[in-house]
Amino acid sequence: MKLLKIFLLLLVSTSVYPQTASEIIRKSEDLIKGKTARGTFEMIIATPDYTRTLKMESWWVGNEKALIVIKYPNREAGNKTLKIGNEMWNYLKNTETTIKIPPSMMLQSWNGSDFTNDDLVRESNLAKDYYQKLIGEDELNGVKCWKIELIPKPDAPVVWGKLYYWVRKDDYLPAKVEYYDEKGKLVRYIEYKEIKKFGKRNIPSVWVMHNVAKKGHSTTIKIIDMEFDININNRIFTFRELERGD
């Protein structure tokens, strides 16, 4: 009987805290990315001087391939971003030119927004590039979360000095990520809001990136529709498709 009680105690303990930091983040990332995905989005770029809205359609295969096509406004419709492996290109419809984005520009602003090229095409790999440590629990907007610290590995191709990542305990969805520079200064943070059902998944439908370094600057992504783990024709991720000009 005593051995049975010890076994049950261990079982309960491991069921309450079964995960490592990397397991929690992997589950969280998998929920909002899937193995493949297609979606349409609205991006609202807000500054003290103007507000600009883009509408886009995107396809992804994990962290390996991505295509983003701007649908609105008309003057930018048809501009595209293609990523294959570690390489990325922008196609500008008006001038019919294709520009390769060097690795040094992956963390530059995407289309004037507060998201980077890396953010949009999912280049960085949190599991590969960062040491991950579960540092405690926190409560954000009344929801209990795990708080995880990510420190970049010495040779990782990232510019951030540190990240803090909050994951909701009840459903593993991301709640917030803070980005710090190498001097420990908070540069920006993203909040995940308004959970909605897309297909069989509940995911945050509104992602807001706040730019702490530029007062009054923020970018909001609203998911209009999203499909996960679908078959995507490989031709989507080719130069022929990139330069098709539609």
Domain architecture of the chain: domains with CATH: 21-243 (2.50.20.10)
pLDDT of residue 13: 42
pLDDT of residue 18: 53
DSSP state of 109: B
Distance CA(114)–CA(211), nearest Å, equals 6
The answer to whether 82 touches 67, Cβ cutoff 8 Å, is yes
pLDDT in tens, the chain (246 residues): 554 554 444 444 444 455 899 999 989 988 998 899 999 999 999 999 999 999 999 999 988 899 999 999 999 999 999 989 878 999 999 999 999 988 778 778 999 999 988 787 665 678 788 999 999 999 999 999 999 999 999 988 788 899 999 999 999 999 999 999 999 999 999 999 999 999 999 999 999 999 999 999 999 999 999 999 999 999 999 988 888 866
pLDDT of residue 11: 45
Q: Which two tokens stand for residue 237?
A: 């991720």
pLDDT of residue 117: 85
Q: How many angstroms from the chain centroid is the CA of residue 102? A: 20
User: Which are the contacts of 190, defined by CB distance < 8 A and separation ≥ 6?
Assistant: 176, 177, 207, 208, 209, 210
pTM: 0.87
- Tell me the pairing of strands 87-92 and 174-180: unpaired
The answer to whether 78 touches 66, Cβ cutoff 8 Å, is no
